Amino acid sequence: QVQLQESGPGQVKPSQTLSLTCTVSGGSITTNYYYWSWIRQPPGKGLEWMGAIAYSGSAYYSPSLKSRTSISWDTPKNQFTLQLSSVTPEDTAVYYCAREGGSSYYDYWGQGTQVTVSS
């Protein structure tokens, strides 16, 4: 089966850039017609879709985060990356990567990684 694993620092200082990598095994990130998404969950709140990169390499972003979000990939390593700039404590959350199929259905998820924004 497909497995996803998030990696990156667990703490980021305010105003810096959060960078996370999702490593995918068991399937290629270029396989039609999947999207590879970043989703986060702040403490006590629901899931928030941040953006995704498609099998074609096209990236899509939540309007609320578009100005400071970048999603890219490294296909030889079967990885995709999230960069969130100018972070504040409101960006503290568990960050997940997930595979999205049709109808916005997420069939595979990483375990999530806690990111805390603080000084």
Q: What is the pLDDT of residues 46-93, one digit of tens each?
A: 999 999 999 999 999 999 999 999 999 999 999 999 999 999 999 999
Q: Across the strands, what pairs with 109?
A: 98
In this model, does residue 104 exceed pLDDT 80? no
Q: DSSP secondary structure string, 53-90? A: EETTS-EEE-TTTGGGEEEEEEGGGTEEEEEE-S--GG
Question: 91: which DSSP letter?
Answer: G
How far apart (Å, rounded) are the C-alpha atoms in residues 8 and 48?
19
Q: How far apart are CA 49 and CA 24, in angstroms?
A: 19
Please determine, for residue 106, whether its predicted confidence score (pLDDT) is greater than 80: yes
Check if the beta carbon of residue 113 is closer than 8 Å to that of residue 23.
no
The string of pLDDT tens digits covering residues 16-51 is: 999 999 999 999 999 999 999 999 999 999 999 999
Task: Please report which confidence band the pLDDT of residue 102 belongs to, taking 50, 70 and 90 as the band edges.
Answer: confident
State residue 103's pLDDT score. Answer: 76
| 101 band by pLDDT with thresholds 50, 70 and 90 | confident
- Residue 54: the pLDDT is 96
At 27 the pLDDT is: 94
Q: Is residue 17 classed as helix, strand or coil in its secondary structure? A: coil
